[in-house]
Amino acid sequence: MQRKVLALVLAGGEGRRLFPLTAMRSKPSVPFGGRYRIVDFVLSNIINSGIYSIYLLVQYKSQSLISHIQENWSQTSVSREQFITIVPPQMRKGLEWFQGTADAVLQNVNLIQQHSPTHVVIFGSDHIYRMDIAQMLDFHEQRNAKVTVAAIPVPIEQASAFGVIKTAADSRIERFEEKPKNPSSMPEDPTKAFISMGNYIFNTDVLLAALADAQRKNEHDFGGYVLPTLVSSGGLFAYDFSQNTIPSTKPYEEVGYWRDVGTIKAYWDSNMDMLDEEPIFDIYNNNWPIHPTISFVPPAKIISGDIQNCSISNGVRIKGASIKHSIIRSSVVIEEDVEITDSIILERVHIKKGAKLNKVIIDKNNVINEGETLGLDPNKDRFRLHIDECGIGILPKTIL
């Protein structure tokens, strides 16, 4: 039977640990890098893998995300098999919003039935990575799997935030524990645990039966119920993400780069990972592009300044500033004698003469006053910034 794949992207994440970046937008809609949003990475991976039937399931504070998809990911459909469709909660099963990952799919099971795929790819939208999903599908079919879970080793001290997997020699999953307090380590490396990336491939009949069972048991999550229940069937396999190969990957890049940017520290670190001359995640890859936000503003204009190891986006205007190891997004104005280090500046920020910024995140539409300092005096910063537990200060988005 010819493979027919439907992709469901779970893009309803509230992102509480990314506050205040998520005060007015959902986690997948948070800007990332010079010209992206977090959701662009999973959508690029799906499209680059040759999968063109995509439902994007949204929920919390979704308007920013919906606008982004409509403006940057609209497809002129040439057939019923090529679309990116935004699906808010339809409340077909009751008055509740999505109660969990499995419930989000269950509430939209009619879309699966209408499309009649052979396989359903269910991916999260909260991570920064490149992945050829076609290779995971090949793995799934070669092992005659019912369900395949993308997996990756992480330091064991981080594993409690994920589903932890124990596998046999043939990659068959023998145990799946959702967010265990005491995660099991990998037999060959006690410092690491093998965890689920939250990306799944289901045979359609298996998925529909599992969702019906979860509904009867009033269960709502893949990690908490569906996957542990399916382990006993013997058809659950783990796909080792480190085996996934992407064309034109540079020798200096980290093998199997994948980051859950669920905290301010992780978000800042992942942005910085793209900046070095030989970055561990190189955004410049023409053979596996991450599709950026469409821009209608003029190119960046740099009159003068000392700029080192930075990402500067369209519409930025710089005169006489010192900017080091920072990301400057679109339409930012930076005046004379400004100093910016280790920072992320989002769209339409105006930084006036003599301001100094160090390791801060400035959200959209803000004005930094002449001579103002941020990120240099913790006692002073707390009156102007939201200080995350990691110590990074964030200036929340301003509504114009």
List binding-site positions.
163, 178-179, 196
Contact 9, 43 (CB under 8 A): yes
Number of H helices, E strands in the chain: 9, 27
Contact 310, 275 (CB under 8 A): yes
CA proximity to 334, closest of 308, 359, 303: 303
| Token output for 296 | 């209608």
Cβ neighbours of 305 (radius 10 Å): 15
Q: Interhelix angle for 63-72 vs 39-48, to 10°?
A: 40
> What does each C-alpha distance from 337 to 8, 52, 181 come to in angstroms?
48, 48, 50
In 141-165, which positions are buried (b, 16+ CB within 10 angstroms) versus exposed (e)?
A: eeeebbbbbbbbbbebeebeebbbb
Q: What is the number of residues in the chain? A: 400
User: For 29-87, what is the HEC assignment?
Assistant: HCEECCCEECHHHHHHHHHHCCCCEEEEEECCCCHHHHHHHHHHCCCCCCCCCCEEEEE
| Token output for 239 | 């796909």
Annotated binding site for alpha-D-glucose 1-phosphate: 163, 178-179, 196
CB-based burial of residue 255 (10 Å sphere; 0-12 exposed, 13-18 middle, 19+ buried)? exposed
In 35-60, which positions are buried (b, 16+ CB within 10 angstroms) versus exposed (e)?
A: bbbbbbbbbbbbbbbebbbbbbbbbb
Sequence-ordered list of residues with C-beta below 8 angstroms from that of 210, at least 6 positions apart, any chain: 102, 202, 226, 229, 230
